[in-house]
Amino acid sequence: MAQSAATGRGSLRSTRFALTKFRPPALPAMLITRPALHGRLTEGADQRLTVVVGSAGAGKSVLLADWAAARPPGVTSWLSCDGADADPVRFWAAFIEAPRAIEPGFGADAADLLAMDMRMSADVIASVANDAAGLPAGSAIVVDDFHYAAAAVAAPHMTDLVERWPSEAVQLVLASRYDPPLRQHRLRMSGQLTEIRDRDLYFSVGESRDLLTKFGVQMSDADLALLHQRSEGWPAVLQMAALSLRGTTDPARLARAIEVRGTAIADYFISEVLEQQPPEVAQFMLDTSILVGVLTADACAAVTGRQDAAALLHTIDTAHLFLVVLDDDRTSFRYHRLVRQVLRAELRARDRAREQELQLRAAEWFEATGDARRAAHHFLAVQQADRALLLLQDQVVPDFLHAPTVPEPLALDLVDPSLLLQTPERLLGLAADLLLSGDTARGGEYLDLLKHAGKIPAGSRLAARFAAFQSFRYGVIGQPEMAVRMAGAARAIQEQTQLADDWNAIVPLVLIRVYNCLDDFPAAEREAAAALAAPTVTEPARLLIVPGSRALAWFKAGRLAEAAHAARAGALLAGGRVRPPGGDDRLQVGPAREQLIGESGFTRAGAQQRLGERNERRVLGLGGRRAQELRPGIGGQSTRPAHGLEDFLGTPACGTRADAPDSLELLPRRRFALGDLHQRDVREDTLHRPVRLRRGSLAPVHQLPSDRPRRGTEACDAGQAGEDCLGLALVA
């Protein structure tokens, strides 16, 4: 059924709209209600504008439809935009029509003016604003999919309407895939803007579980964490995974769903996102998807040959095309991980030769700029393993210490480690890269292969490096005594030969963690001092790694004031607190830290929530095993452990523990090592939550008995591993 656009004269009478244009979409049967976001929408009632900006499939329409359904009847009007609304007269005719669901006579004068001139004018804007002021108090006008009309109407008509909007009477809500150009910075500075964005729309782990449960899908904590990590909470992808798993217990199908790969997801992204972009933007996204890690204008220009790479990155960023910002200046980015997979697969399917050409360009550019690991990654992609491993053999450790983030695993399918025995330096470099990447099992196998081959000259630089990474390996897998022994062997060779080697820094950094595990805090402090005194110490080690380790040692010794001081000192040395635009309350302390926190995608609030959820699961016996142990060999694939980085940044593996935290649980440890201690009442409540649970009490911390444990180590049961104590220490 169609509806006339109204009472106006002229050709506006012939404008027809489907009635569904003015109705919210039907709510899904598997709806996940989001009261926190409902509250934020409601809080925007007295502000000039509320925007909900998110990528395709982020759940904008469902959120707003659910919010509208929860509001009192008769006070919400709805307008769904489509491609035809690029015609400004048609859009404004529909905008005038929508509030008639609340007040049938709305906009009669504005419609007449619009029909008379067939164009927008200041008089039409004034008339719409005046009629809006007469709507019942508490009314709201929701414009969904505003991106279809934004280019045509935003300059200057919608901007003018927003500036004249009677916010005391009616709320204006615009939902769009892109930021509408409505001078939002002015509204933000004056406190007249409510914003909900991708990071708010994406599901938390708890919401992801709720969605799966509604579909009748049961999943272990470890599998859920892995699914959430790979989907990054993208609602559309989570729903596709739930649909694929409904009514099945097939392990192979579970493995495919957790991998969040498949034609349905790819088809959705390509049709709904990629094919909607201008050709030059779509090709740029395809070409730059081959880049490993951070996207910068220089790297993108080198690969694509486009000198306007910075402008294209800005276009993709402002269009919310699944680009994650990694710094305050908005010059460093990465793609949403799943989107990058889809883009790479699409590039390979469209033009395999071009994909290989781009990989080689990237490899040679990164090699020229001194980024050995990324160069190695791209050389492997074009099957030039010798060039890749030659770069790794000396640079893998220095590169990691300058940018201590978990590197993307190398594609080693074409590398036979047994063939590297004639070049033991390359084999050790490969083993070190695997250990730093978190692949402890395979890295250990390569170390064993090198040891049994007898290719390590006694007292050599190679022997010192080998012993240092044996120490690293033993520390990660929970054998601290062996870690101390191998570190001592590496240090003895270093002292005897007076070797000046960047790899020497591995020994004190490992020993700090190991001595913390052994509760030998004076020894940990000595190693911290030794690390800081080393002439080759890198800025991330000086500013992030060592201060975090010291804070951990003081905490475990029960000296909480010193722990807080050490952590805060690290933060101050690294540049202090900066609150970036958009209100994301992260700490920015130099490039390494920006990348570390940016890649994680979590904010402070999210970290606190995950930390609390993890501690409760552990206490209740619901967690503690790694995904690999819960899903051995699922789908014929092994799960890459998440070790490596966290062992440098404050997460030792103590005792005989051989497990490691799921990657989603890494951020709180990172934050602790980076020196973020804050909000004392929240800290104490999180610290003692496990104590309350063991005592069968969910009361707030101030209601606990006065004899509650005061030392960090006493807050843990005797049987808990050191990592669990660390989990409690992170916000203390």
Band of residue 582 on the pLDDT scale cut at 50, 70, 90 = very low
Shared domain check, 211 and 192: no
The residue with greater pLDDT, 581 or 502, is 502
- The torsion region of residue 538 among left (phi > 0), alpha (psi -120 to 50) and beta comes to beta
Q: Of 221, 244, 260, which residue sits at a domain end?
A: 260
Where residue 31 sits, what CATH number does that domain have?
3.40.50.300
The sign of the torsion formed by the CA atoms of 511, 512, 513, 515 equals positive
Shared domain check, 250 and 179: no
Band of residue 385 on the pLDDT scale cut at 50, 70, 90 = confident
Q: Do the beta carbons of residue 47 and residue 192 sit within 8 Å?
A: yes
The residue with greater pLDDT, 265 or 6, is 265
- The torsion region of residue 403 among left (phi > 0), alpha (psi -120 to 50) and beta comes to beta
CA 626, 609, 690 angle in degrees (round to 5)?
70
How many domains does the structure of the chain reveal?
3
Q: 333 pLDDT exceeds 60?
A: yes
Mean pLDDT of 270-299: 92
User: Two tokens at 58?
Assistant: 């982020």
Mean pLDDT of 630-649: 33
d(CA 25, CA 484): 63
CA nearest 338: which of 224, 261, 286? 261
Q: How many CA atoms lie within 13 A of 521 on its CB side?
A: 13
Residue 184 located in a structural domain: yes
Shared domain check, 189 and 44: yes
Q: Of 161, 186, 201, which residue sits at a domain end?
A: 201
What is the structure's pLDDT at 663? 34
Q: Residue 320, Cα to own-chain centre: how many angstroms?
A: 15
**Phi, psi for residue 731 in degrees, rounded to 5:** -115, 15
Band of residue 554 on the pLDDT scale cut at 50, 70, 90 = confident
Residues 6+ apart with CB under 8 A from 123: 113
Q: Residue 522, Cα to own-chain centre: how many angstroms?
A: 37
Q: 343 pLDDT exceeds 90?
A: yes
What is the structure's pLDDT at 196? 95
Ranges of H-type helices in 498-590? 506-517, 521-533, 539-540, 546-556, 560-573
What is the structure's pLDDT at 257? 66
Band of residue 626 on the pLDDT scale cut at 50, 70, 90 = very low
Shared domain check, 227 and 120: no
Q: Do the beta carbons of residue 649 and residue 673 sit within 8 Å?
A: yes
The sign of the torsion formed by the CA atoms of 275, 281, 285, 286 equals positive
193-230 pLDDT per residue, tens:
999 998 899 999 999 999 999 888 888 888 888 888 88
Q: 605 pLDDT exceeds 60?
A: no
Band of residue 630 on the pLDDT scale cut at 50, 70, 90 = very low
Q: 607 pLDDT exceeds 70?
A: no
Mean pLDDT of 288-314: 94
User: Two tokens at 320?
Assistant: 């919310």
Shared domain check, 665 and 594: yes
Shared domain check, 195 and 99: yes
Mean pLDDT of 387-404: 84
CA nearest 85: which of 148, 22, 157, 43? 148
For residue 715, the enclosing domain spans: 581-635+660-729
Residue 41 located in a structural domain: yes
Band of residue 670 on the pLDDT scale cut at 50, 70, 90 = very low
Q: 699 pLDDT exceeds 70?
A: no
**Phi, psi for residue 171 in degrees, rounded to 5:** -100, 135
pTM of the predicted model over 0.75: no
Residue 211 located in a structural domain: yes
The set of long-range contacts for 186-189, using a CB threshold of 8 Å and a minimum separation of 24, is: 187/47, 187/48, 187/49, 187/162
User: Of all residues in the chain, what percent carry a pLDDT higher than 70?
Assistant: 72
Among the ranges given (519-523, 605-609, 647-651), the one the predictor scored with the smallest mean pLDDT: 605-609
Q: 404 pLDDT exceeds 90?
A: no
Mean pLDDT of 354-372: 94
Residue 646 located in a structural domain: no
Shared domain check, 147 and 54: yes
Shared domain check, 183 and 77: yes
Residue type, 86: A
Shared domain check, 135 and 194: yes
Three-state secondary-structure class, residue 26 = coil
CA nearest 498: which of 459, 467, 455? 459
116-128 pLDDT per residue, tens:
888 888 999 999 9
Q: 5 pLDDT exceeds 80?
A: no
Residue type, 638: S
Mean pLDDT of 672-686: 32
Residue 567 located in a structural domain: no
* Residues in the chain, total: 732
